[in-house]
Structure 1
Amino acid sequence: MQSSESSGSPTNPLKRNFETMTNDASNPQQLTPYQLDVLKLGMMRNTIAHFDSGDGKTMTAVMIMKETAVSVRKQSSEKKVIISLAPTRNLVEQQFNALRENTDLMVDFYHGSKVTDIDGRKVDEWDAAVWEHETDKNRVMVMTPKILLDALRNAFLDFEMICLLVIDECHHAIGNHPYVIIMKEFYLNSVNKPRIFGMTTSLVLKKGVSSAGGCEAKISALESIFDSLVYTIQNSTELEDVRPSPSENKSFKNTKESTSDENRTSASENKSSTNIKESTSGTTKRKELHGTTPIRALSGTWGCKLDNGVDFYAYNISFISSVDVKYSSFVLLLESKIDDDVANLEMELYLVSKFVHCKVSSCVKLHLDAEQVAKGKCFQELFFNGIFAKYVPREFLLEPDQKLWASSYMYFLLPLESLDPFQISWKEIDSCVSAIEFIKKSPVLSGEEQSVDSIMTCSESTSLIHFANRSINKDDVTNVVVLAIHTGKIYSVLEVLQNETADSPFDGNTKKFPSFKSYFKQKYEINLVYPGQNMVLLKQSHRAHNLLVDFNNEGILHGKKIKAESCKVNTDRQRYYARLPPELLVILDTRIDVMKSIFLLPSLMHRLESLMLASQLREEITGHMTDIYISSSLILEAITTLRCNESFSMERLELLGDSVLKYAVSCDLYLRYPEKHEGQLSSERSRQVCNSTLYNLGISCRLQGYIRDVAFDPTRWTAPGQRPLRPCPCDHGVETLEVPVDPKYHTEEPKILTGKCCDMGHRWLGSKTISDCVEALVGAYFVDGGLTGALHCMKWFGISCELDPSRVYEAIKIASLHVYTPKLDVLQSLESKLGYEFSVKGLLLEAITHASNQEQGVGYCYERLEFLGDSVLDLLITRHLFNKHNDIDPGELTDLRSASVNNENFAYAAVRRNLHPYLQYSSGYLQTQISDYVKFVAISATDTNSLQTKKSPKALGDLVEGIAGAVLLDTKLNVEEVWRIFELLLAPIVTPEKLELPPFRELMEFCDSKGYFIKTKYISNGDVIVAELRLQLEDALLIAEGTGTTRKIARGHAALKLLSQLQNRGQGNRDGEIGTKNIKESDTTQAKITLFDVQPATDTTTANECSTEEESKSKLEIPVLKSINTKKGGPRSSLYELCRKMQWPMPILTSSEQKSKTLIEIGEGEDKRTSFNCFESHISLTIPNFGVIELVGEPRADKKSSFDSAALLMLYELQKLGKLKIG
């Protein structure tokens, strides 16, 4: 929002020259640098400033109002007022008093109890005359937002007269709060908008928020509502000397340390504050262009230096098939040595009806002379291009492109004759060299007339087949590997075609090409010498496939478990073969086993290259430390996103790493700042582990180049010396491999696709992916290296959490001073319940003391220990779930953690283990809450079918966390001892079989699996919210209502009732089938329509509700679709939106592929095209209380277009049936 202005621009009356401001007469209180920064920004633009408690936000607001009043008085003659809003009466009066004491402005306050001096009327009874009197009398008016809203709506106040609107506690602006309504109804519609200055103490994450993303979402929402930019402090050192201490007994001042030391996690060391709007780093919205880190192990210097040969490290690659199929072994030759856990790899590759076990093992160091290197390059160029390329230009066969061998990507993949003894198959390599030499000398590619003698001299025996370079017996042609002269493609021979020659009719356009002979003459300028000899049937080479995922069994796709039926490869697909004259084929003396193995190499090498990259990152992090070993496979898992569609991803490790980070930072802050209260510690922890901070740390360590964020595409993989099958030239305007960290390479454009690399390795990454990877790597180091390994990884990133034993002893010493003698018997009784005897009883006493006891003179409470205990329980439970349930997907693991680590679960454990009587508190209200909850737990234990729920008192969950923190300190940070105690105390810990999702979440997952839609409606009835949920099935409409103090609670109660109704109908789980009984078919010609035989409804939950006037009206109304977007995806979107609006179940689309040996015409008009294959889609739509409509769309060139065709026909069919109006 801030913009520079030219010198000729008119002066803004609300801006001042800050050089004229002083801190003496005009400033009754010396301001901190942060307050001065806020003051300057607040005078220039709409600003929301974040303050901690005691940071002087009231005085900052006073100074902004004072300076604004001076500016307006000097530069404007119009009637202007400053209005300051605060949500409570106390805050209104506090601001009023501050303004009256520190300024000479005419000011007054207004809230519900305010009365006029004349007739004693309250504010809500005032008329326009009274308000006009107030605005004439005062320059500043402090009031609650409801008072201002009512006055504006009644036109008692004119919004245009406001020059500055100060909004205190602006984080309350959610839902229909008056703050929100004022901004929407009046600010957005005003011509002369006032400047906005908002204040909040609640930008950071609070306890109970499940992710750091909630903080960023909150910031973005506030900025949008108030048309402002958030401004917050990052380095709190400057406030330490002026912020009041929360302790009642003594103050603590430390000017040498701050919560953001130079060696800690501040992402901007040279700035004390930051404008969050200027950086959406770490969010899912922002995408950034980044490069890909080159793999050092794949680089080579032997491309040009061949005089003395090259020394290689050799790694054997062998294949063993699950069926009787033989594969040749290969050797990988690298100039660099790779780590042992990468060099000795075993893995499975999954083919259609079998799997192949691959084994990589380190072998020997090998020397190749210059001639052998040249031959190896020739073999690799010929085979990988001949098998995987669509077409190899004759120029490439005659003059190989040296640019295909880059120094950053140099290795050999050569066939082996035997493993023991180790021997490269130079015979087969030499045959490829000979074949290239033969093609160079052959007159075939030049189009010259050839004589028989120029090709070969051989017997005219009919038992021989004349290939380009020699003749062989008909009986010996099967499985011969050949190279096509005219295309450079490699095939294997299946058989000799007895009744087909080059004079036979051509397969395709016989008018243009009457025979194969004429085809080759016209297409390639080749004159066949033996047109009368039999042609051969060839098995075509095919594209490389992704063999890393077993699509025949359950796998992971986009992070979700998928069943075999949804992705099974068609094992009955028709095979396609080529027919060619033998004289156009050069025989390669190469085993067919070599050709089969080459199809396995892209997937294997992709995995090997990924492990090399992971090993390289491990070396960066670990260095030369020998006491920490992390497997490269675990590092690979930590840098692999769900988009890679692997059987592993970073999600599980990210979840664990999040808990490790939270624990380590919590311990460090607790020990480092013994005088800070829980709120301050939570605020600083949130700042240190939020996505934005982790993103900046990852970027500073160049982590972005290591992240794998796209599924393996074999058509993009190339071996050294291979031409890319699908080149993707770089159009990003970056000439270097590494992309500079620059805002011009950042975007929030949703159409930008992430993951896909250009040929220079540049790709778009979601910025949150980088912060997630930081957490995942910390989790990986914790799994293999324990807490020591995790702390080392954190230190590499720049998060220095030093858990100094001396600080632990100091914390224990402070707790030992607590007086506990009168309560010693209580503590001993609690120790017996816990099964642990404290060496320092003061820790346990602090853990069970509620903050309300401080009013009785107690100088401590459990809040700091609760902060510590929350993090250690989070870590221990997450670790337990991670280790015990390694076969569940990341989403389910997250659900298990959420169900286990929460205040409700801890409070329930406190009551179940009878710990609540030991809580020390001085609050009658809390006593009532605890008593009611204890009764509820007792009742729910006997009535398991009850749908009633009750929120637990937060103090009970805090009690459990406080005790956990006390045990952790007493054991000197021994997390295993904490787990020994709390594993029993919290048992049983939820398992996947016992996991109960929140009712509305469970209902939504059921509906998503069935394609149902839910309509939600809320009604406010005083302090009670009523939620109504409507779920339309094929044959019934289910309706349920729930009540609660919030929408979430009311919606949950309604969802619980709907789930109960579904269970009664036998449909209460995601695998339940929806029955359609009593059906009869109507006579149709184009679409198959199965009508339901609708019976009178008897279920009161459906029939009675459906008979309301609203339902009757909706049945008579026919939806209108103005037009159909015929672009790709348009018809489907229109149909889906119609189904959502009408609450019809989602249509079911299935496609089938049709292939042809000849070209077929597809589409009409401009979309008309020809292809060898096409797709047809079948669509089925169920309309409740009507029937099922089924039809087949028109053939299209791709699957999604065929879906659109079927959807379009369905829309027109609905129009015919009177279910829809189009246009």
Structure 2
Amino acid sequence: MEPINIEIDGTQQQSAAALLVEEATQELASEPYDDQQPSYVPPELVKPWCSNDASVLYHCYLIQMKPNFCSDIPVNDIVLGMRSELDCDVANMNFDLGVGKSTITVNFKKAADIHLSSEQILQCRRFQITIFRILMDHNLQKLEEILERLSVGQNLEVESIDYLLLPAARMHQRPFIIDWECVMSVPFRSEENSEYHVDSSPPNNCSRVLHTKNGMVCTCRIQNSLVYTPHTGLLYCITGLLNDLNGNSRMRPRRRRARTYKTHYEEKHGIKLRFDQQLLLKGKFIFKLQNYLQSCRQQTEKDSSHTSVELPPELCSIVMSPLSVSNLYSFSFVPSIMHRLESLLLAVNLKRMVLDRCTENVTIPTIKGFIRNECFDPKKWIIPGDYSGSSFLNEKLPFNEKNIYIRGTRKIKGKRVADVVEALIGAFLSTGGEIAAIYFMNWVGIKVDLFHIPYERHFQVQPEKLIDVRHLEFLLNNYSFRDPSLLLEALTHGSYMLPQIPGCYERLEFLGDAVLDYVITAHLYHKYPDMSPGLLTDMRSASVNNICYARTAVRAGLHKHILASDSVLHTDIANTVNNFASLSAESTFGWESETYFSEVLADIIESLAGAIFVDSEYDKNAVFKSIRPLLEPLVSPETVPLNPVKEFHDYCQKMQYIMKKPVKSIQNGVATRTIEVEANGVVKYTHTSTASNNDTAKRLACREFLRLSKGN
């Protein structure tokens, strides 16, 4: 197989990788920014408007939402109308939105294909702009001007964000997919007699009609509506009539003297109620747009949308009717849902770009390699069809004969770009294997040779005269070396160099270090598919470290087979063996050791792994199969110990302690490490530990701090 040669300059590499950089977890404020990068828009959400079309085909998908908590407000389905069909693994996706301490599960489902006339599309746009502007702005100041621009913008031959978000029809409204009655609620016309009009006469012989700012309106049209009160400038969702309250009723106690609603409006607002016999309306405040993509989202302020108010009908101007509180509530989740969809569509396009260059038959799930660099702000979400802002796309970038649309620029930190590339390599590696990962690496400009060139050695050596080959092969799970000189090299220290020995272990150790890191990482990743990245990192750190490997070497007796002529090293190894005798031999992983372990012992485990890797013609499975028994029992989520140094830093960050620069010194072969922690400008803790080297002293100091802080 010939190596791939794809030339991509640095800017293109970062731009391609940045396609997946969408939502955010954290930013490191001190980290420098890269140059500004384009902000992409997936082509599936972009189509040029053409007013001459008699009808337009829309592919409709149901956005189904299921709350995983009890709520007095139901959540309704939403119809998403697209000019392009969604990729199959996006069209059937599901994910959770964080609502308080619980979640709402979102499912996408293909519904039907429908043709809409230009008049219907205009009405749909008018509806979605109105409902999202109300949720976004909580006022009507901009709305009239925006709706006027809508008619103008529709006739422009421009590329803009184009899709529809509409209320789904209920079962009794089928066979329609869209709840057209709700869609037609903008603008409200009091004189219309719609099919929604039903016999809803209030009790107590009250009139079926109410006096409103819009004139005489039937009660059935105001009970599920969105209203505006000019005297306060507020918007409310009306959920019904209050059958026991009218303008002459006494207000519910609110810290002040009891008075009627009629008196209240006259004294506070200077308004005299003319129709004080009318029943009052029950209204709810408008829901707030929030970022529901963050799990376990905590509300920082009291949510007023659950509070009910009493409103005289004559002070209300109806904006939309019929519009249920359930519909309004459901639409408040849509910006977060669409932001997730947009991110996945960008990932789909990146995947297509890469796979177009890949001759291997690889299937990569779109959800893999999903990296975020900034929090989604629903206030900046672009309402489709809203020509008042930045919905026009002023650039496009041809790439692989496809258009990638650009909406402005943004700053992306260099580390985030690196994280994206690493994650994408991992996505291709875990799904398509090494060849797929290599194809991707070549595509972004990381040149990797796909040739497997056997490593040839020309040493005339008889390893059996210097080491016990058969016994060592037994220790390595009966691995049989094709070239035993590699085993000899893996056990030879630099101080023991003879003409017949090919070299010391350092080159094989360099190679084995990387191979062991990879195979153990892959093992943990595949064995624990639901494990968080943080815990996986802790498990790997507990398994892949010098203490772990040194203890493994001693337990297996490998120290007896090391070829070395350094008396200091022999003493070092002897001390390590004595220290090991005082420790539990049940496990080799972790950070339990309070004494120094010779690094040479750890190096030997890595060099043996490197020797097996070369001897097996680069078979990683052979390495893991041979070395794994030495490492048993492997770490698990139940047994993983935390690195005390990492735990110390995490604890100080959580408690907002200030860690002073540690003081360290080495005298007469003894390392001293002093750590100092401040809280509110006062030294809270100081501790000094000594050990045979700096790393051990640091670990002991951190462990003692944690013991005292936690009262252990």
Q: Return the TM-score normalized by structure 2.
A: 0.77
Is 1:514 the counterpart of 2:270? The answer is yes
Aligned-pair distance for 1:820? Answer: 2.1
Instruction: Please give the alpha-carbon distance, in whole angstroms, between the structure 2 residues aligned to 1:489 and 1:722.
Output: 21
Q: Which residue of 2 aligns with 1:60?
A: none
Aligned-pair distance for 1:978? Answer: 1.8
Q: Which residue of 2 aligns with 1:614?
A: 347
Instruction: Please give the alpha-carbon distance, in whole angstroms, between the structure 2 residues aligned to 1:573 and 1:462.
Output: 30
Alpha carbons 1:867, 1:962 under 8 Å: kept: yes
SS at match of 2:62: strand
Instruction: Please give the alpha-carbon distance, in whole angstroms, between the structure 2 residues aligned to 1:477 and 1:576.
Output: 19
Q: Which residue of 1 aligns with 2:511?
A: 868
Aligned-pair distance for 1:909? Answer: 1.1
Pairing partner for 1:823 from 465, 472, 482 = 465
Is 1:969 the counterpart of 2:703? The answer is no
Provide closer, same or farther for how the CA distance between residues 971 and 1026 of structure 1 changes in structure 2, counting only shifts above 3 A: closer
Aligned-pair distance for 1:876? Answer: 0.9
Instruction: Please give the alpha-carbon distance, in whole angstroms, between the structure 1 residues aligned to 2:9 and 2:513.
Output: 24
Provide closer, same or farther for how the CA distance between residues 547 and 870 of structure 1 changes in structure 2, counting only shifts above 3 A: same
Pairing partner for 2:379 from 715, 735, 744 = 715
Q: Which residue of 1 aligns with 2:38?
A: 291
Aligned-pair distance for 1:859? Answer: 3.5
Aligned-pair distance for 1:997? Answer: 4.0
Q: Which residue of 1 aligns with 2:365?
A: 631
1:1039-1054 maps to which residues of 2 (within 5 A)? 1040-1044=687-691, 1049-1054=696-701
AA matched with 1:846: E
AA matched with 1:871: A
Pairing partner for 1:413 from 159, 165, 189 = 165
AA matched with 1:984: P
Instruction: Please give the alpha-carbon distance, in whole angstroms, between the structure 2 residues aligned to 1:962 and 1:1019.
Output: 31
Is 1:914 the counterpart of 2:557? The answer is yes
Aligned-pair distance for 1:903? Answer: 2.9
Aligned-pair distance for 1:404? Answer: 6.9
Provide closer, same or farther for how the CA distance between residues 307 and 267 of structure 1 changes in structure 2, counting only shifts above 3 A: closer
Q: Which residue of 1 aligns with 2:16?
A: none
AA matched with 2:115: H
SS at match of 2:90: helix
Alpha carbons 1:469, 1:587 under 8 Å: kept: no
Q: Which residue of 2 aligns with 1:928?
A: 571
1:204-219 maps to which residues of 2 (within 5 A)? none
Aligned-pair distance for 1:575? Answer: 1.6
Q: Which residue of 2 aligns with 1:791?
A: 438
Alpha carbons 1:319, 1:356 under 8 Å: kept: yes
Alpha carbons 1:296, 1:408 under 8 Å: kept: no
Pairing partner for 1:310 from 43, 56, 69 = 56
Alpha carbons 2:550, 2:601 under 8 Å: kept: yes
Aligned-pair distance for 1:797? Answer: 1.1
Q: Which has the higher contact order (CA 8 A, sep 6+)?
A: 2
Alpha carbons 2:6, 2:442 under 8 Å: kept: no
Q: Where do 5+ consecutive residues of structure 1 fail to align? A: 1-259, 269-281, 440-459, 518-528, 553-565, 641-708, 739-758, 1069-1223
Q: Which residue of 1 aligns with 2:290?
A: 545
Aligned-pair distance for 1:884? Answer: 3.6
Aligned-pair distance for 1:777? Answer: 0.9
AA matched with 2:623: V
Alpha carbons 1:417, 1:423 under 8 Å: kept: yes
Q: Which residue of 2 aligns with 1:703?
A: none
Over the residues paired in the alignment, what is the CA RMSD in angstroms?
A: 4.4
Q: Which residue of 2 aligns with 1:74?
A: none
Bigger radius of gyration among the two: 1
Instruction: Please give the alpha-carbon distance, in whole angstroms, between the structure 2 residues aligned to 1:1026 and 1:355.
Output: 50
Q: Which residue of 1 aligns with 2:23?
A: none
Instruction: Please give the alpha-carbon distance, in whole angstroms, between the structure 2 residues aligned to 1:537 and 1:953.
Output: 77
Q: Return the TM-score normalized by structure 1.
A: 0.47
Provide closer, same or farther for how the CA distance between residues 261 and 413 of structure 1 changes in structure 2, counting only shifts above 3 A: closer
Q: Which residue of 2 aligns with 1:382?
A: 130
1:105-504 maps to which residues of 2 (within 5 A)? 285-288=31-34, 289-301=36-48, 303-322=49-68, 323=70, 326-352=74-100, 355-393=103-141, 395-396=144-145, 399-402=148-151, 407-417=159-169, 423-425=176-178, 427-428=180-181, 431-433=184-186, 435=188, 462-467=207-212, 471=216, 476=220, 479-484=223-228, 489=235, 491-496=237-242, 498-500=245-247
Instruction: Please give the alpha-carbon distance, in whole angstroms, between the structure 2 residues aligned to 1:1021 and 1:467.
Output: 86
1:634-673 maps to which residues of 2 (within 5 A)? 634-636=368-370, 639-640=371-372
Instruction: Please give the alpha-carbon distance, in whole angstroms, between the structure 1 residues aligned to 2:415 and 2:408.
Output: 20
Alpha carbons 1:378, 1:433 under 8 Å: kept: yes
Q: Which residue of 1 aligns with 2:414?
A: 767
Q: Which residue of 2 aligns with 1:1145?
A: none
SS at match of 2:367: helix
Aligned-pair distance for 1:351? Answer: 3.4
Instruction: Please give the alpha-carbon distance, in whole angstroms, between the structure 2 residues aligned to 1:572 and 1:469.
Output: 27
Aligned-pair distance for 1:387? Answer: 3.9
Alpha carbons 1:863, 1:962 under 8 Å: kept: yes
Q: Which residue of 2 aligns with 1:75?
A: none
Aligned-pair distance for 1:305? Answer: 3.4
Instruction: Please give the alpha-carbon distance, in whole angstroms, between the structure 2 residues aligned to 1:607 and 1:722.
Output: 20
Alpha carbons 1:819, 1:842 under 8 Å: kept: yes
Report % sequence identity: 26
Aligned-pair distance for 1:1014? Answer: 6.6
Alpha carbons 1:496, 1:534 under 8 Å: kept: yes
Instruction: Please give the alpha-carbon distance, in whole angstroms, between the structure 2 residues aligned to 1:574 and 1:595.
Output: 13
1:971-1010 maps to which residues of 2 (within 5 A)? 971-1010=616-655
Aligned-pair distance for 1:397? Answer: 7.2
Instruction: Please give the alpha-carbon distance, in whole angstroms, between the structure 1 residues aligned to 2:324 and 2:704.
Output: 68
Alignment deviations for residues 1099-1153 of structure 1 (CA, whole Å, 9 cap, x no partner): xxxxxxxxxxxxxxxxxxxxxxxxxxxxxxxxxxxxxxxxxxxxxxxxxxxxxxx
Alpha carbons 2:97, 2:105 under 8 Å: kept: yes
Instruction: Please give the alpha-carbon distance, in whole angstroms, between the structure 2 residues aligned to 1:943 and 1:793.
Output: 42
Aligned-pair distance for 1:617? Answer: 1.5
Aligned-pair distance for 1:319? Answer: 3.0
Pairing partner for 1:601 from 322, 331, 334 = 334
Q: Which residue of 1 aligns with 2:496?
A: 853
Aligned-pair distance for 1:505? Answer: 6.0
Provide closer, same or farther for how the CA distance between residues 613 and 1050 of structure 1 changes in structure 2, counting only shifts above 3 A: same
1:93-112 maps to which residues of 2 (within 5 A)? none
Corresponding residue pairs, total = 645
Q: Which residue of 2 aligns with 1:832?
A: 474
Aligned-pair distance for 1:598? Answer: 1.4
SS at match of 1:633: coil
Pairing partner for 2:582 from 931, 935, 939 = 939
Instruction: Please give the alpha-carbon distance, in whole angstroms, between the structure 1 residues aligned to 2:356 and 2:114.
Output: 28
Q: Where do 5+ consecutive residues of structure 2 fail to align? A: 12-27, 193-204, 250-259, 398-405
Pairing partner for 1:579 from 282, 288, 311 = 311
SS at match of 1:940: coil
Aligned-pair distance for 1:547? Answer: 2.7
Provide closer, same or farther for how the CA distance between residues 793 and 1014 of structure 1 changes in structure 2, counting only shifts above 3 A: closer
Alpha carbons 2:41, 2:407 under 8 Å: kept: no
Aligned-pair distance for 1:342? Answer: 0.3
Alignment deviations for residues 629-648 of structure 1 (CA, whole Å, 9 cap, x no partner): 11111132xx22xxxxxxxx
Aligned-pair distance for 1:385? Answer: 2.5
SS at match of 1:814: coil
Q: Which residue of 2 aligns with 1:882?
A: 525
Alpha carbons 1:551, 1:569 under 8 Å: kept: no
Alignment deviations for residues 865-900 of structure 1 (CA, whole Å, 9 cap, x no partner): 222211110101112233344555434433332332
